[in-house]
């Protein structure tokens, strides 16, 4: 490492990067997503995926799920900064490897090809509960729900079989068992 | 009950209920209904500035010197964008501000209407929170919440953007609720266990040091009293950040002076060599820590702060106590007294060696400079100003640059809230409008802006405000015709290539003062300095004091680029030995 000769500190060794999933409960109001996202972009933290929707209409609550990578220090800082935002009610943060948490993403996949190819396609994603949402004699739209890397591999496998378009959601998360996060 | 009020009335009713006495502002199309309502509220006085940035800094000066939130009122578009610098400044230095901005009518938002801008979008990253009031029924709640957010936890600026049609619309008003909880974001309660741990660390320490910051000031005057008690109880040395000056008496023997880039030799060496560092309300700013991996390498670190996100942000600490500084100090002192009645004495024995070392560092007299009897040295000017004003309760503001550091080094503060300077953002042009705000809060007190000629020209228009409201602020310009700090860095890092740091067409400040309708005084030589300063103090009018100082003087001591605390540049003689070279240049 180059020795710092600056009044500004130079970056010290970057620690191990972990992928974390943040779940943030926020008031569903204008600009709240910009606040949450701005906190990441303003600090140079990258967002891998994002899912947000209202979960309680009466209480006007939305649940934001953010996947990001960072050193433990960065992750801690994000958590604390998120908690400081006025419309934020609570913040949970899990490691991707966390066995106590279920993560899921959904993808819509459009394949164009003859029926033989489509059969192959359905076979290729059998493991991920494919649901056929639309079918014509030369195309199909399939919905699958799976982990990010699983969807990655499905997409890779379907490309040669006529995949023309893929649309994916961000990850959503839920803890296993009876406990809820407080 | 049941009375309907217009949005503009609701704004003023909530300001009254929040006990606001002054607002700093500038009218314009989108805030006219609010300005129209002003006449009906005699307890609230409006100070008309000359530029919205001035309104923001004046409100900062008001807030920092009085402990009350500053209130700013600006129009949409340019009014709002002009205040952004002041909001960012307040955000960095944790100053409570409530900024009310007008907005184009709701139906025109997003149409590029005249004087429209996305005010909440622009100010989102430089406020603690902001609101666009789209429904008049939300206005009373939002107004009260704005004050709550600005003044609780780590204080800071907030902004309420009110479209013009909402200012006209009518709704019910309700008073602020007491003890409102903002999503549970109330003060963090610390644990007595943490206090016990702190005391354990204090007992074991043989080279302890207190490092205190603006958090002590923000916690209120009581915190400063408690800090003095704690420091006396422990016998530990104490150093302060730029923002913390005044929380502990600057002329006390246990005070090592300011630390950091232009801090004293003894303070920085104590930080480097200590075995226990107790940070109270400071944030390990990069001007303080210097090179981060060599920052205080041998110490156990304790961090007391009201903001949980400040902990471990820059420096990993061994013990963190999240809470209001005053409460934490008070709990610490109480426990100390209860548990270890003789800690004071045993500690003194234990740390006497440490004090001996500190005395040795002190003999370096790192703030010394070579005085002259033909030309005014800027440090000498600040020292004389201090000597001639220390017998009265004086409030000092500054601009940003060399003069700011000389003021911090040579002016000794004994009370909190007497020192207003832009630390985090380093905003040139801060001091003059801030002085306006301070004088508004303290009409009978002496308020001096220690300024540089370059900085002060950025907001010089506010002299007009000072004259309008008979605010006898004193603008004490250390005039070296250079952007001194820029010139100093260019001398040290860029082979004396003074690129664009010399102002070759400065105004005649004495005539400028006269043009504004205030008093201009010029001092050219050291032998007339005292007389002129006294003349300035005794005038009951705004004064611009043009103090012609040595153009070549540099601000020492300093921690040069990329060096840790114990490798300081001490002064002209020391300079040759430690030149800054290579990559550091790019990083300053």
Neighboring chain A residues of B560 at a CB cutoff of 8 Å: 7
What structural domains does chain A harbor?
Answer: 18-95 (3.30.70.260), 101-173 (3.30.70.1150)
Asked if residue B103 belongs to a domain, the reply is yes
Contact flag B308-A80 (C-beta cutoff 8 Å): yes
Tokens of B388: 């001639």
Q: What is the DSSP letter of B175?
A: P
In angstroms, the CA B432 to CA B51 distance is 12
Q: How many CB atoms lie within 10 A of CB A61?
A: 15
Convert the pLDDT of each residue in B127-148 to its tens digit: 999 999 999 999 999 999 999 9
Q: By the 8 A CB rule, do B528 and B521 touch?
A: no
pLDDT band at A46 (very low <50, low <70, confident <90, very high): confident
Tokens of B264: 């004293």
Do B304 and B421 lie in a common domain?
A: no
Contact flag A4-B125 (C-beta cutoff 8 Å): no
Query: In 3D, which of B446, B439, B435 has the Cα closest to residue B397?
Result: B435
Among B124, B559, B586, beta carbon nearest to A34? B124
- What's the length of chain B? 588
Do B153 and B273 lie in a common domain?
A: no
What is the distance, to the nearest Å, from the Cα of residue B492 to the centroid of all Cα atoms in its chain?
27
Range with lowest mean pLDDT among B65-79, B211-225, B345-359, B398-412: B345-359
Instruction: Tell whether A1 lies on the interface with B, counting CB pairs under 8 A.
Output: no
Range with lowest mean pLDDT among B1-5, B35-39, B300-304, B388-392: B1-5
Convert the pLDDT of each residue in B368-393 to its tens digit: 999 999 999 999 999 999 999 999 99
Instruction: Report, as residue numbers or ranges, the catalytic residues of B.
Output: 52, 114-115, 164, 485
Model ipTM? Answer: 0.87
Do B202 and B295 lie in a common domain?
A: yes
Count of structural domains, chain B: 3
In angstroms, the CA B239 to CA B308 distance is 23
Instruction: Tell whether B584 lies on the interface with A, counting CB pairs under 8 A.
Output: yes
Instruction: Tell whether B132 lies on the interface with A, counting CB pairs under 8 A.
Output: yes
**What is residue B344's predicted lDDT score, i.e. its pLDDT?**
61
pLDDT band at B162 (very low <50, low <70, confident <90, very high): very high
**What is residue B61's predicted lDDT score, i.e. its pLDDT?**
98
In Å, the largest CA–CA distance within chain B is: 77
Residue A3 has pLDDT above 50, yes or no: no
Do B392 and B505 lie in a common domain?
A: yes
Convert the pLDDT of each residue in B402-456 to its tens digit: 999 999 999 999 999 999 999 999 999 999 999 999 999 999 999 999 999 999 9
Q: By the 8 A CB rule, do A105 and A79 touch?
A: no
Range with lowest mean pLDDT among A14-18, A145-149, B127-131, B246-250: A14-18
Instruction: Tell whether A109 lies on the interface with B, counting CB pairs under 8 A.
Output: no
Contact flag A9-B289 (C-beta cutoff 8 Å): yes
Tokens of B160: 């309420």
Final residue in a domain of this structure, among B139, B171, B203? B171
Asked if residue B585 belongs to a domain, the reply is no
Comparing alpha-carbon positions, the chain B residue that sits nearest to A91 is B183
Residue A99 has pLDDT above 50, yes or no: yes
The H or E element spanning position B474 is strand B474-479
> Strand, coil or helix: what is A116?
helix
**What is residue B178's predicted lDDT score, i.e. its pLDDT?**
72
Residue B181 has pLDDT above 60, yes or no: no
> Strand, coil or helix: what is A145?
strand
Convert the pLDDT of each residue in A17-45 to its tens digit: 899 999 999 999 989 999 999 989 888 88
Asked if residue B462 belongs to a domain, the reply is yes
Do B335 and B411 lie in a common domain?
A: no
Contact flag B129-A31 (C-beta cutoff 8 Å): no
Do B526 and B469 lie in a common domain?
A: yes
Q: Do strands B70-74 and B22-25 pair parallel, antiparallel, or not at all (unpaired)?
A: parallel
Q: For tokens 């303290």, name the residue.
A: B442
Asked if residue B183 belongs to a domain, the reply is no
Do B268 and B324 lie in a common domain?
A: yes
Do B34 and B131 lie in a common domain?
A: yes
In angstroms, the CA B414 to CA B530 distance is 22
Phi-psi sector, B396: left (phi>0), alpha (psi -120 to 50), beta:
beta
Mean local confidence (pLDDT), B90-110: 97
Asked if residue B580 belongs to a domain, the reply is no
Q: By the 8 A CB rule, do A124 and A56 touch?
A: no
Query: In 3D, which of B277, B312, B355 has the Cα closest to residue B565?
Result: B277
**What is residue B571's predicted lDDT score, i.e. its pLDDT?**
81
For chain A, first and last CA: distance in Å? 42
Domain that holds residue B111: 5-171
Q: Do strands A101-112 and B170-171 pair parallel, antiparallel, or not at all (unpaired)?
A: unpaired
Convert the pLDDT of each residue in B187-197 to its tens digit: 567 899 999 99
Asked if residue B47 belongs to a domain, the reply is yes
Tokens of A41: 């972009």
Contact flag A84-B121 (C-beta cutoff 8 Å): no
Those residues with Cβ within 8 angstroms of residue A10's Cβ, 6 or more apart along the chain or in another chain: A1, A2, A4, B562, B587
Convert the pLDDT of each residue in B48-68 to its tens digit: 999 999 999 999 999 999 999
Instruction: Tell whether B286 lies on the interface with A, counting CB pairs under 8 A.
Output: yes
Contact flag A5-B129 (C-beta cutoff 8 Å): no
Q: Residues B496, B499, B501, CA angle at the centre, nearest 5°?
A: 100
pLDDT band at A165 (very low <50, low <70, confident <90, very high): very high
Question: Which is it for the CA torsion B267, B269, B271, B275, positive or negative?
Answer: negative
We report the CATH number of the domain holding residue B149 as 3.40.50.970
**What is residue A156's predicted lDDT score, i.e. its pLDDT?**
94
In angstroms, the CA B146 to CA B180 distance is 12
Do B120 and B13 lie in a common domain?
A: yes
Contact flag B183-A9 (C-beta cutoff 8 Å): no
What is the pTM for the complete model shown?
Answer: 0.93
Among B125, B149, B562, beta carbon nearest to A38? B125
**What is residue A5's predicted lDDT score, i.e. its pLDDT?**
46
Better-predicted residue by pLDDT, B564 or B577: B564
Neighboring chain A residues of B311 at a CB cutoff of 8 Å: 80
Among A9, A35, A87, beta carbon nearest to B291? A9
Convert the pLDDT of each residue in B519-528 to its tens digit: 999 999 999 9
**What is residue A1's predicted lDDT score, i.e. its pLDDT?**
35
**What is residue A32's predicted lDDT score, i.e. its pLDDT?**
95
Neighboring chain B residues of A32 at a CB cutoff of 8 Å: none
Q: For tokens 């939130």, name the residue.
A: B69
């Amino acid at each position: 490492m180059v020795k710092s000769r600056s009044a500004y500190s130079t970056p010290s060794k970057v620690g191990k990067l972990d992928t974390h999933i943040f779940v943030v409960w926020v008031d569903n109001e204008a600009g709240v997503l910009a606040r949450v996202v701005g906190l990441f972009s303003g600090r140079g933290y990258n967002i891998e995926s994002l899912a947000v929707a209202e979960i309680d209409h009466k209480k006007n609550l939305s649940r934001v799920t953010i996947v990001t990578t960072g050193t433990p220090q960065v992750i801690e800082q994000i958590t604390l900064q998120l908690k400081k935002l006025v419309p934020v009610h609570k913040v949970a943060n899990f490691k991707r490897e966390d066995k106590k948490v279920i993560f899921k993403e959904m993808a819509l996949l459009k394949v164009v090809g003859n029926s033989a190819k489509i059969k192959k396609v359905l076979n290729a994603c059998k493991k991920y509960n494919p649901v056929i949402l639309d079918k014509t004699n030369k195309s199909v739209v399939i919905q699958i729900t799976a982990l990010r890397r699983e969807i990655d591999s499905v997409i890779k496998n379907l490309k040669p079989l006529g995949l023309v378009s893929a649309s994916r959601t961000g990850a959503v998360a839920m803890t296993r068992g009876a406990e809820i996060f407080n | 009950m049941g009375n309907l009020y217009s949005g503009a009335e609701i704004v003023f009713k909530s300001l009254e209920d929040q006990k606001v006495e002054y607002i700093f502002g500038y009218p314009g199309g989108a805030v006219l209904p609010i300005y129209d309502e002003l006449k009906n509220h005699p307890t609230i006085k409006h100070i008309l500035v000359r530029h919205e940035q001035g309104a923001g800094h004046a409100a900062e000066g008001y807030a920092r010197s009085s402990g009350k939130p500053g209130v700013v009122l600006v129009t949409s578009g340019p009014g709002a964008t002009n205040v952004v610098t002041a909001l960012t400044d307040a955000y960095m230095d944790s100053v409570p501000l409530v900024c009310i901005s007008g907005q184009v009518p709701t139906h025109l938002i997003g149409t590029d209407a005249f004087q429209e801008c996305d005010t909440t979008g622009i100010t989102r990253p430089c406020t603690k929170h902001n609101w666009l009031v789209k429904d008049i029924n939300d206005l009373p709640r939002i107004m009260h919440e704005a004050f709550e957010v600005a003044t609780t936890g780590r204080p800071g600026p907030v902004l309420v953007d009110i479209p013009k049609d909402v200012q006209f619309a009518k709704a019910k008003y309700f008073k602020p609720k007491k003890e409102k909880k903002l999503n549970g974001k109330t003060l963090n309660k610390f644990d007595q266990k943490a206090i016990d741990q702190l005391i354990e660390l204090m007992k074991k320490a043989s080279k302890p040091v207190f490092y205190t910051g603006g958090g002590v000031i923000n916690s209120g005057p009581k915190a400063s009293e408690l800090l003095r008690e704690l420091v006396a109880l422990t016998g530990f040395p104490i150093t302060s950040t730029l923002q913390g000056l005044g929380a502990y008496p600057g002329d006390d023997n246990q005070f090592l002076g300011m630390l950091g880039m232009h801090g004293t030799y003894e303070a920085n060496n104590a930080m480097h060599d200590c075995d226990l560092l107790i940070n109270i309300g400071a944030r390990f700013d990069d001007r303080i820590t210097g090179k981060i991996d060599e920052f205080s390498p041998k110490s156990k670190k304790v961090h007391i702060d009201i903001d949980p996100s400040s902990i471990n942000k820059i420096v990993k600490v061994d013990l963190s106590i999240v809470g209001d500084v005053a409460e934490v100090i008070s709990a610490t002192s109480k426990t100390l007294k209860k548990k270890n009645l003789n800690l004071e004495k045993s500690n003194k024995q234990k740390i006497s060696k440490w004090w001996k070392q500190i005395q040795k560092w002190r003999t370096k007299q790192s703030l010394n400079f070579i005085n002259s009897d033909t030309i005014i040295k800027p440090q000498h000017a600040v020292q004389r100003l201090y000597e001639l004003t220390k017998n009265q309760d004086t409030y000092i503001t500054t601009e940003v640059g060399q003069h700011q550091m000389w003021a911090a080094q040579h002016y000794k503060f004994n009370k909190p809230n007497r020192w207003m300077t832009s630390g985090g953002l380093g905003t040139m042009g801060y001091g003059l409008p801030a002085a306006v705000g301070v004088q508004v809060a303290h009409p009978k007190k002496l308020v001096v802006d220690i300024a540089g000629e370059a900085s002060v020209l950025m907001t010089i228009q506010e002299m007009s405000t000072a004259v309008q409201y008979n605010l006898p602020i004193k603008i004490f310009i250390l005039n070296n015709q250079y952007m001194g700090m820029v010139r100093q860095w260019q001398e040290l890092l860029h082979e004396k290539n003074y690129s664009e740091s010399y102002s070759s067409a400065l105004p005649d400040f004495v005539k400028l003062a006269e043009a504004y309708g205030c008093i201009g005084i010029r001092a050219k030589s050291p032998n007339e300095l005292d007389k002129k300063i006294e003349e300035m103090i005794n005038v009951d009018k705004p004064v611009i004091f043009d103090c012609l100082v040595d153009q070549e003087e540099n601000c020492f001591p300093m921690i040069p680029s990329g060096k840790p605390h114990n490798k300081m540049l001490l002064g002209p003689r020391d300079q040759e030995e430690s030149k800054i070279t290579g990559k550091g240049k790019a990083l300053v």
